[in-house]
Amino acid sequence: MSLRILVLTNLFPTRWDPHRGAFNRQQFERLGQRHEVEVITAVPLPERLRGRGAGEPLKIAGLRLRTFVFVYLPRVARSLHALFWAVSLLAQQGWHLLRGRYDCVLASWAYPDAAAAGWLARRMGWPYVVKVHGSDLNVQAEDPARRPQIRKALVEARAVVAVSRALADKAVALGVAPARVHVVYNGVDHARFSPGSQPEARRRLDLPGDVPVLLYVGNLKASKGCMDLLEAFAPVAEARPGAQLVFVGAGECRDALRARADELGLGAAVRLVGATPHADLPDWFRSATLLCLPSHNEGVPNVVLEAMACGIPVVATRVGGIPEVVPGEAGLLVPVRDRDALAEALVEAIALPWDTGRILEHARQFSWERNLQSLSDILEAAAADSPLPTSLPT
């Protein structure tokens, strides 16, 4: 059964931010091999004005791509962002949507995306599915003004797709019928993310060959725990002279990380790589002794799955869905914001004799093939027996 699916989200690459939402790109690109998929991505107004990274329009085989500028008031009236999102979408893409005749809408991110997309879908008579990822429920749904909007979007959706059991439980707590909540873990491209020679990877990346290399991959923002990791690295560097800490990613904490590393006398041991294409990440994983992601809240970060698929152990915080996917044979988990515990875990993880075979065996269960079959089944069920409108309702 082939569907015409409309995806509405902010979590997808654009010409202004080509590295955003790599997990969604991988999933939707594969979904486009089974169905006719159109992705309309919200580009925040400040990002559009800065023109950051603006290159040629993005083209992805099998997908029809469009964007709109999400116009809103920065730092104020966040409870109205769903309204701004919907108005921005309709003002710029309304006539296109009117002609769309979609079988199903997939809104990826609860607020403001799903709150706005759900409002539109209900008025158009389109069945819709919401995919939740992490802080959209862990953080935004805790806000008293946004929580009712998120609840309505989820409760009235045909289905809610959660990337972890922890998020699924939060959706149920919001009032969604348990039978309509589905846990679908993200997948890994095992052809790309696989074990390889650490010495060769380090040589290509200009990393020393005989010292521990701790790797962080993700946005450089405080809620991802990057500052916690830097502080926890100081005793590691003292215990293991020559150890390196590598941050792969971009974000608001970059300058603070560099300044603090210099204050701690770790400037030479800390490397800030910047944003990196997803296709280049395997070498960074293969070069690492371990991956560390001390986030304050999470769904299930794909970098954790990809690191394990390369045979690399993980040190992470015990938040969100991370405990569901990182068993004891694949990593160590610590309490959130506990820098002392994090430092101890890093030192311990460096010294442990990890069984790469067991890590790889565990990682193999996370595949895009399994993910896409589950998601496709959910979307097909949502679209079944749904009449298609011919015009915008008044």
Q: Summarize pLDDT for 162-208 with one digit per residue, the tens.
A: 999 999 999 999 999 999 999 999 999 999 999 999 999 999 999 99
Which whole number is the average pLDDT over 208-227? 95
pLDDT for res 49: 86
pLDDT for res 201: 97
Q: Report the alpha-carbon distance of residue 379 to residue 104 in Å, rounded.
A: 7
pLDDT for res 393: 34
pLDDT for res 247: 98
135-151 burial string, b = 16+ CB within 10 Å, else e?
Answer: bbbbebbeeeebbebbb
Answer yes or no: is pLDDT of 389 > 60.
Answer: no
At 33, give phi and psi (nearest 5°).
-80, -15
Write the CATH number of the domain with boundaries 198-363: 3.40.50.2000
pLDDT over 90 for what percent of the chain?
90
Per-residue pLDDT band at 388 (split at 50, 70, 90): very low
Q: Report the alpha-carbon distance of residue 170 to residue 180 in Å, rounded.
A: 13
**39, β-bridge pairs:** 7, 65
The structure's pTM equals: 0.91
Answer yes or no: is pLDDT of 391 > 50.
Answer: no
Are 4-187+368-383 and 198-363 equal in CATH topology?
Answer: yes
**Structural domain boundaries of the chain?**
4-187+368-383, 198-363
Answer yes or no: is pLDDT of 53 > 80.
Answer: no
Q: Summarize pLDDT for 317-367 with one digit per residue, the tens.
A: 999 999 999 999 999 999 999 999 999 999 999 999 999 999 999 999 999
Q: Summarize pLDDT for 250-308 with one digit per residue, the tens.
A: 999 999 999 999 999 999 999 999 999 999 999 999 999 999 999 999 999 999 999 99
Q: Report the alpha-carbon distance of residue 277 to residue 285 in Å, rounded.
A: 13
Contact 74, 46 (CB under 8 A): yes
pLDDT for res 385: 64
Fold of 4-187+368-383: Rossmann fold (3.40.50)
